[in-house]
Amino acid sequence: MWYLDPDVYFVALIVPAMIFSLVMQIMVKSAYKKQSRVRNARGITGAMAAQMVLDANGVQNVRIEMTRGKLSDHYDPRTNTIRLSEGVYGAASVAAVGIAAHEAGHAAQHAQKYTPIKARNAILPVCNIGSMAAVPLMILGAVLDFWGLITIGLALYALIAVFQLVTLPVEFNASRRALRAIEGQNMLQGSERAGAKKVLTAAAMTYVAALVVSLANLLRFMLRFSRRR
């Protein structure tokens, strides 16, 4: 069967994309590890930094709480809660301030109805379906030689890439808000601000890597199915 043939597109497209993604993951972990060892001069913890960013943006009624895990920090718009990991919430490190400020930046985006985040939330339900159904639909379409199913599968998978593309401005904007607040509120000094920026830049690049992997997979599927056709 043609879809069981050696997948040269996997080697040509997916392997380089996965290597790029792995490098970005290593970079963010390395930057976090290094900057989490640097205590900021003002002794500002992650929880304090998040609150300062919220105050600077006039955002109210957002809870800040601690959650388990490492680099598990996130903003939950359903409960209007910023959840900071154990190494960020009570830590007064450069990394903690940068990460907490970034998550508070997401809270500010939601409060101010930032357009890209509204667009991302709008396509999220369809993307959740696509992440589960896209590949099975393409395989089923190939087995049945039914191009309608293959096309639907490709379209759903393309939506995943669109979602990740829309995520980029959301993440970069949250980091810009964080760095602007860090400087405006004088949370970190010169070299400390540079350290926080390195952590946030490395984290943002993981989203770029996720988009690259999705686009590589999409191109791989398109090439293999077009070969069959």
Average pLDDT over residues 137-149: 90
Active site residue 192: no
pLDDT band at 1 (very low <50, low <70, confident <90, very high): very low
Percentage above 90 pLDDT, the chain: 82
Average pLDDT over residues 216-222: 92
Q: Residue 37: pLDDT above 70?
A: yes
Residues in the chain: 229
**Location of structure tokens 């490098």:** 23
Strand partners for 83: 65, 74
Percentage above 70 pLDDT, the chain: 96
List the catalytic residue out of 86, 103, 183, 192.
Answer: 103
Per the CB < 8 A criterion, the answer to whether 10 and 213 are in contact is no
Distance CA 98, CA 48 (A): 11
* Residue 153 token pair: 């599968």
Average pLDDT over residues 103-111: 97
